[in-house]
């Protein structure tokens, strides 16, 4: 299990997702190999071994202190499993809705919606997040 970063909460994770979606609302996530749109890559690894954030959730988790190595062990996993595995703290009354909101954002971006659209769709379904 990855070492839990100080004060990493679901609320902070949602905030970082919203930050990146607002900064790049028209960005459409595409994997390096362009093959499986239903699988999120948190980080892309290039042929020379370097890494870069890939999906919206990868950017948010990197901001919260997780490394490419932390997240590579979770490639292809849905965000609820990643949250549990990384030890991200549940917080507040909206724990389940925050998890579902993050999952909805992930699904929408993996199905070719822009980051802004992915957040807007999640907001329509989980207005209290």
- The CA distances from residue 111 to 4, 40, 64, 93, 115, in Å, are 30, 10, 25, 29, 11
Residue 53: predicted pLDDT:
66
pTM to 2 decimals?
Answer: 0.84
Instruction: Return the higher-pLDDT residue of 81 and 32.
Output: 81
Please say if the pLDDT value at position 54 is more than 50. Answer: yes
Identify the band that residue 76 occupies on the pLDDT scale cut at 50, 70 and 90: confident
Residue 47: predicted pLDDT:
67
As beta bridge partners, residue 51 has 45
Exposed, middle or buried: residue 36 (CB in 10 Å: 0-12, 13-18, 19+)?
A: exposed
Percent of the chain with pLDDT strictly greater than 70:
79
On average, the pLDDT of the chain sits at: 83
Of 14, 16, 55, 62, the C-alpha closest to 36 is 55
Whole-number Å distance between alpha carbons of 9 and 7:
6
Tokens encoding 18: 């919203």
Q: Among the listed ranges 56-65, 71-80, 113-122, which one has the minimum average pLDDT value?
A: 71-80
Task: Enumerate the domain spans of the chain.
Answer: 10-125
């Amino acid at each position: 299990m990855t070492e839990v970063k100080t004060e990493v909460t679901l609320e902070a994770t949602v905030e970082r997702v919203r930050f990146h979606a607002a900064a790049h609302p028209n960005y459409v996530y595409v994997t390096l190999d362009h093959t499986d749109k239903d699988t999120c890559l948190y980080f892309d690894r290039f042929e020379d071994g370097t890494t870069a954030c890939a999906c919206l959730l990868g950017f948010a988790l990197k901001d919260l202190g997780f490394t490419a190595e932390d997240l590579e062990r979770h490639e292809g996993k849905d965000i609820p499993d990643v949250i549990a595995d990384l030890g991200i703290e549940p917080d507040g009354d909206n724990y389940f809705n925050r998890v579902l909101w993050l999952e909805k954002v992930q699904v929408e971006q993996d199905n070719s919606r822009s980051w802004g659209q992915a957040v807007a769709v999640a907001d329509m379904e989980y207005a209290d997040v």
